[in-house]
Homo-oligomer: A and B are copies of this chain.
Amino acid sequence: MTRPSSRPRDRGIPEATVARLPVYLRALHGLTDRGVPTVSSEELAAAAGVNSAKLRKDLSHLGSYGTRGVGYDVEYLIYQISRELGLTQDWAVAIVGAGNLGRALANYGGFVSRGFRIAALLDVQESLVGAEVAGLRVEHSDQLEAVVRQRRVSIGVIATSAAGAQTVCDRFVSAGVTSILNFAPVVLNVPEGVDVRKVDLSIELQILAFHEQRKAAGALGPDWNVSVEPPPAPPERVGGRIPVDAVDAAEEEGR
């Protein structure tokens, strides 16, 4: 089903582009703060840490908002990107977990700034309930469904331990939340149509470790990391194996 081109842009923006738009937006805000009215793709690309051809291709997916020979009007581009990202409306966010991480998130200024509003901060732990964090009172997790419905929460943030995360996720989903940002180190199971994004500290560290190791490896010969320890349990093939079927117990899923 292709539209007859009444509209200059194709609404299907590549995922990779979507992931960079927020970066451009931040760079553009930096430019307005400095009073810069216009910027070339080269300059903006440098500020955003990408290559300029990529920037231009990305922006071209939104429409033709630049001027050849001149560049992009900073304010105008900010508006267009914001609109594309849906930041011209504001989104109510609920954070579950009021530990250090949840509090850090609640206090994070940039969080609230453009388009997002923290509607609730919840925790199971009684001793935290009632505490004030970033101008909000911590509420009990029991209130999750009520809060989501009454305050029109559309994005749920999970800042609990790994153990509690799936339960919180299920409750968000059944209360109607379809966008979840997960900080707990688990893979969440969600039905079709729900978006989950994951932020995982230890994964990032492990990726860095991999590259760091490679750099070190260059200095030594190849094969430098072969059997630094006794090759542990060679694939000993013996007993019958236990199927992993009782995994979720919940009925979910097939392929």
Contacts and interface: CB of A to CB of B under 8 A. Distances in A.
A57 interface: no
B212 A76 contact: no
A146 interface: no
Given A88-B228, A104-B101, A202-B110, A197 B207 contact: yes
Contact of A86 (B26, B186, B210): B210
How many copies of this chain does the complex contain?
2
A164 interface: no
Q: Which of A22, A181, A202, A205: most chain B CB closer than 10 A? A: A205
Interface string A185-221: 1110000010101011111111111111101000000
Contact of A233 (B76, B229, B233): B76
A188 B212 CA distance: 18
Q: Which 4 A-B pairs have the closest CB atoms?
A: A86-B213, A100-B104, A38-B241, A101-B104
Given A100-B104, A114-B202, 20 more contacts: A7-B223, A26-B187, A27-B187, A29-B255, A37-B239, A38-B242, A46-B247, A67-B237, A73-B235, A75-B233, A76-B232, A76-B234, A84-B210, A85-B206, A86-B225, A88-B229, A100-B101, A115-B209, A179-B209, A199-B201
Interface of A: 3, 7, 11, 18-19, 21-23, 25-27, 29-31, 33, 35-39, 43, 46-49, 65, 67, 70-71, 73, 75-76, 79, 83-89, 91, 93, 99-101, 103-105, 107-108, 110-111, 113-116, 154-155, 162, 178-181, 185-187, 193, 195, 197, 199-213, 215, 222-223, 225, 228-229, 231-237, 239, 241-244, 247, 253, 255
